[in-house]
Copies of this chain bind each other. A is one copy, B any other.
Amino acid sequence: MKLDHKKVTDSIEAVRHFNRFYTQRIGVLHKHLLQTPFSLVEGRVLRELADTQKTTATALRSKLALDRGYLSRILRGFAARRLIQITYCKNDDRQKFLELTGKGRRAHSLLNARAQHHAASILDKLSRADQKRLVATMRTIEKLMTSKSS
């Protein structure tokens, strides 16, 4: 049916529109993050390190899907800045355990606070009701888009 087809292409267009819309927003978010001394990827690594007490580069890699050379350099940078501490694994000399230092945790907290603030600034523009609506729709999108992988 003609009408059905139109509906479908409309939906596709709506999804694409949203993608464009959000990539633009992400650009903003990106620059926001860059007002800290971390790149977006570094921020993710930092977050991951904060979330897990003790990890290895390989664990990070599989979680964040990063090139190993790339990650190795990021970690080297973190170590140079004394954000992480490295301990060697007893049973396996190939692996190194990574942990945030106090300084690392503080850096993470700062980053976290910034992100918090950014999210809050989005919400602040809305009425209570709209805030609820926004959060609900975001959750819905996540649910719908993860239901069957992607």
Residues of A near any B CB (own CB < 8 A): 8, 10-19, 21-23, 25-26, 28-29, 40, 115-116, 119-120, 122-123, 125-126, 130-135, 137-142, 144-145, 147-150
Cβ 8 A contact of A125, one of B17, B120, B125, B147: B147
Q: A26-B22, A26-B26, A148-B125 are in contact. Are A11 and B141 (CB under 8 A)?
A: no
The oligomer's copy count stands at 2
Contacts of A147 in B (CB 8 A): 125-126, 130
Contacts of A25 in B (CB 8 A): 145, 150
Closest residue of B by beta carbon distance from A149? B125
A150 adjacent to B28 (CB under 8 Å):
yes
A122 adjacent to B138 (CB under 8 Å):
no
Interface of A is mostly: helix
Closest residue of B by beta carbon distance from A117? B12
A123 adjacent to B11 (CB under 8 Å):
yes
Cα(A28)–Cα(B120), bound, Å? 27
